[in-house]
Structure 1
Amino acid sequence: MDTGMNSLLSNIEKTRLEMILLAHQYGYSNPSVVQCSQRLDLLLNVYHNKNIKH
Protein backbone atom coordinates (compact mmCIF):
# COMPACT_ATOMS: atom_id res chain seq x y z
CA MET A 1 0.00 0.00 0.00
CA ASP A 2 1.43 3.39 -0.93
CA THR A 3 1.92 6.31 1.43
CA GLY A 4 -0.94 8.23 -0.17
CA MET A 5 -3.35 5.43 0.66
CA ASN A 6 -1.95 5.15 4.19
CA SER A 7 -2.45 8.87 4.67
CA LEU A 8 -6.00 8.63 3.34
CA LEU A 9 -6.81 5.76 5.69
CA SER A 10 -5.33 7.69 8.60
CA ASN A 11 -7.47 10.73 7.74
CA ILE A 12 -10.55 8.51 7.51
CA GLU A 13 -9.91 7.07 10.95
CA LYS A 14 -9.20 10.48 12.52
CA THR A 15 -12.36 11.94 11.02
CA ARG A 16 -14.43 8.94 12.12
CA LEU A 17 -13.21 9.29 15.71
CA GLU A 18 -13.80 13.06 15.64
CA MET A 19 -17.36 12.50 14.45
CA ILE A 20 -18.03 9.98 17.22
CA LEU A 21 -16.69 12.34 19.88
CA LEU A 22 -18.69 15.26 18.52
CA ALA A 23 -21.86 13.17 18.36
CA HIS A 24 -21.45 12.08 21.98
CA GLN A 25 -20.86 15.67 23.04
CA TYR A 26 -23.49 17.50 20.97
CA GLY A 27 -25.91 14.91 19.57
CA TYR A 28 -26.22 13.50 16.09
CA SER A 29 -28.09 16.39 14.49
CA ASN A 30 -25.65 19.11 15.58
CA PRO A 31 -24.27 21.03 12.57
CA SER A 32 -20.67 20.25 13.59
CA VAL A 33 -21.44 16.53 13.61
CA VAL A 34 -23.21 16.71 10.26
CA GLN A 35 -20.30 18.63 8.72
CA CYS A 36 -17.80 16.09 10.07
CA SER A 37 -19.97 13.27 8.72
CA GLN A 38 -19.94 14.91 5.30
CA ARG A 39 -16.14 15.18 5.40
CA LEU A 40 -15.98 11.49 6.29
CA ASP A 41 -18.29 10.64 3.38
CA LEU A 42 -16.00 12.51 0.98
CA LEU A 43 -12.93 10.70 2.29
CA LEU A 44 -14.66 7.35 2.00
CA ASN A 45 -15.69 8.16 -1.58
CA VAL A 46 -12.08 8.98 -2.45
CA TYR A 47 -10.96 5.70 -0.89
CA HIS A 48 -13.61 3.76 -2.78
CA ASN A 49 -12.72 5.40 -6.10
CA LYS A 50 -9.00 4.68 -5.60
CA ASN A 51 -9.76 1.02 -4.94
CA ILE A 52 -11.90 0.70 -8.06
CA LYS A 53 -9.05 1.98 -10.23
CA HIS A 54 -6.63 -0.65 -8.90
Structure 2
Amino acid sequence: MKSTKHSLLFNIEKTRLEMILLASQHGYSNPHVVQCSQKLDLLLNDYNKKVKTN
Protein backbone atom coordinates (compact mmCIF):
# COMPACT_ATOMS: atom_id res chain seq x y z
CA MET A 1 0.00 0.00 0.00
CA LYS A 2 1.45 3.37 -1.01
CA SER A 3 1.43 6.20 1.48
CA THR A 4 0.04 9.60 0.74
CA LYS A 5 2.22 12.68 1.13
CA HIS A 6 0.25 13.67 4.22
CA SER A 7 0.74 10.32 5.94
CA LEU A 8 4.43 10.31 4.98
CA LEU A 9 4.90 13.76 6.53
CA PHE A 10 3.12 12.57 9.67
CA ASN A 11 5.35 9.49 9.91
CA ILE A 12 8.47 11.55 9.21
CA GLU A 13 7.68 13.91 12.07
CA LYS A 14 6.74 11.07 14.42
CA THR A 15 9.96 9.18 13.64
CA ARG A 16 12.05 12.35 13.94
CA LEU A 17 10.68 13.03 17.42
CA GLU A 18 11.20 9.40 18.41
CA MET A 19 14.82 9.57 17.25
CA ILE A 20 15.44 12.77 19.22
CA LEU A 21 13.98 11.21 22.36
CA LEU A 22 15.98 7.99 21.97
CA ALA A 23 19.18 9.95 21.32
CA SER A 24 18.67 12.07 24.42
CA GLN A 25 18.17 8.93 26.51
CA HIS A 26 20.79 6.60 25.02
CA GLY A 27 23.23 8.66 22.93
CA TYR A 28 23.59 8.95 19.18
CA SER A 29 25.50 5.71 18.63
CA ASN A 30 22.93 3.49 20.34
CA PRO A 31 21.66 0.78 17.96
CA HIS A 32 18.03 1.83 18.50
CA VAL A 33 18.85 5.42 17.58
CA VAL A 34 20.74 4.30 14.47
CA GLN A 35 17.83 2.06 13.45
CA CYS A 36 15.38 4.91 13.94
CA SER A 37 17.63 7.20 11.89
CA GLN A 38 17.68 4.65 9.08
CA LYS A 39 13.88 4.43 9.19
CA LEU A 40 13.72 8.22 8.96
CA ASP A 41 16.06 8.18 5.96
CA LEU A 42 13.77 5.72 4.16
CA LEU A 43 10.71 7.84 4.90
CA LEU A 44 12.45 10.98 3.65
CA ASN A 45 13.54 9.18 0.48
CA ASP A 46 9.97 8.00 -0.13
CA TYR A 47 8.67 11.52 0.39
CA ASN A 48 11.24 13.02 -1.99
CA LYS A 49 10.29 10.49 -4.66
CA LYS A 50 6.62 11.42 -4.29
CA VAL A 51 7.39 15.14 -4.55
CA LYS A 52 9.55 14.69 -7.65
CA THR A 53 6.93 12.65 -9.49
CA ASN A 54 4.23 15.29 -9.02
CA distance in 2, matches of 1:12, 1:25: 20
For the pair 1:41 / 2:41, whether they are aligned, the reply is yes
Over the matched positions of the two proteins, sequence identity in percent amounts to 69
TM-score, normalization by structure 2: 0.93
Unaligned runs of 5+ in 2: none
Q: CA RMSD in A?
A: 1.1
For the pair 1:32 / 2:38, whether they are aligned, the reply is no
SS at match of 1:28: coil
Unaligned runs of 5+ in 1: none
Q: Which amino acid aligns with 1:10?
A: F
CA distance in 1, matches of 2:21, 2:53: 33
For residue 47 of structure 1, report the CA deviation from its aligned partner: 0.3
Task: Count residues in correspondence.
Answer: 52
- Deviating 4+ runs (over 2 angstroms): none
TM-score, normalization by structure 1: 0.93
